Homo-oligomer: A and B are copies of this chain.
Amino acid sequence: MTNVQVRLRAVEKVFPGGVEAVAAMDLDLAPGRVTALLGPTGCGKSTLLRLIGGVETPTAGSIEIDPLPQIGFCFQEPRLLPWRNVRRNVALPLELARASRETCRREADRRLEMVGLGDAAEFLPAALSGGMRMRAAVARAFIADPTLLLLDEPFAALDEVTRLRLDEEVAALVRKRSITVLLVTHSIAEAVFLADEVVVLSPRPARILDRFEIPFGERNAALRGHEEFAALQSRIYNVLLAGMEATS
């Protein structure tokens, strides 16, 4: 498996209206590593992901991605096609990559099982709860064996039990396949649990306030009881808080 390297240099994004969302951002996503982005609401995290995903162009700076990645993108909203049932929504990226109908179905069912939606495969999106929609979106992000995974608050709409379970699932998966991951989350615990590095951003326009290397190896449920786990969380919280108080 090729590992994807992402390099942002002095990336800036100013929206047509004049809103500056990202300011002079340098960021490296190391191959096979999980980077978590934490930052205040509206600071520019989603914009950054969309810049890396290539659906928004930076107004300055450069973004290099090498080699050409297979992107798995979980947007902040579920973005399901209302006329497709859950299975066919999840299978979409495979379908677009011209996989056979059989493969689509099998892989989709496998991912749905992973996110606990096995028995909702035939539902239309309109018949899903908010959390179920997001889980379908997560399943879709994983289906095409991505080499670069961009996740925008994928688990924000889930209850804590399911969320922890999925955190562990994802942790195992990305490590096994050494996918390059950029994860936006508002849960500091989740960031610490999943990431190799946590990047804390300032309020808009997003600047990097601090980075935290997460020293844990294996990620499993036991980690959450670890003392350093809690310590790291509160250090990160304080950086975030300080950043927000500095500007307001």
Q: Is A87 an interface residue (CB 8 A)?
A: no
The proximity string for A residues 1-41 relative to B, scoring 1 for CB distances below 8 Å and 0 otherwise, is: 00000000000000101010000000000000000001111
A38, A42, A186: which has the most chain B beta carbons within 10 Å?
Answer: A42
Contacts of A47 in B (CB 8 A): 129
Contacts of A241 in B (CB 8 A): 161
**Interface bracket on A:** 35 or more
> Are A159 and B240 in contact, CB atoms less than 8 angstroms apart?
yes
> Are B153 and A130 in contact, CB atoms less than 8 angstroms apart?
yes
Q: Is A46 an interface residue (CB 8 A)?
A: yes
Which residues of chain A in 126-161 are interfacial with respect to chain B, using CB atoms and an 8 Å cutoff? 127-132, 135, 152-153, 156-161
Contacts of A19 in B (CB 8 A): 127
Q: Is A244 an interface residue (CB 8 A)?
A: yes
Q: Is A70 an interface residue (CB 8 A)?
A: no
Number of copies: 2
Q: Is A163 an interface residue (CB 8 A)?
A: yes
Contacts of A123 in B (CB 8 A): 17
Q: Is A103 an interface residue (CB 8 A)?
A: no
Specify which of B40, B46, B128, B131 is in contact with A159 (CB 8 Å cutoff).
Answer: B40
> Are A157 and B153 in contact, CB atoms less than 8 angstroms apart?
yes
The proximity string for A residues 173-217 relative to B, scoring 1 for CB distances below 8 Å and 0 otherwise, is: 000000000000011100000000000000000000000000000
Contacts of A186 in B (CB 8 A): 157-160, 163
A187 to chain B: closest residue by CB: B160
Q: Is A62 an interface residue (CB 8 A)?
A: no
Q: List 14 A-B contacts (CB under 8 A).
A: A41-B162, A42-B128, A46-B129, A46-B130, A47-B129, A76-B130, A77-B130, A130-B153, A156-B156, A160-B186, A161-B237, A161-B240, A161-B241, A162-B244
6 A-B pairs with least C-beta separation? A41-B131, A76-B130, A42-B129, A159-B186, A42-B132, A156-B156
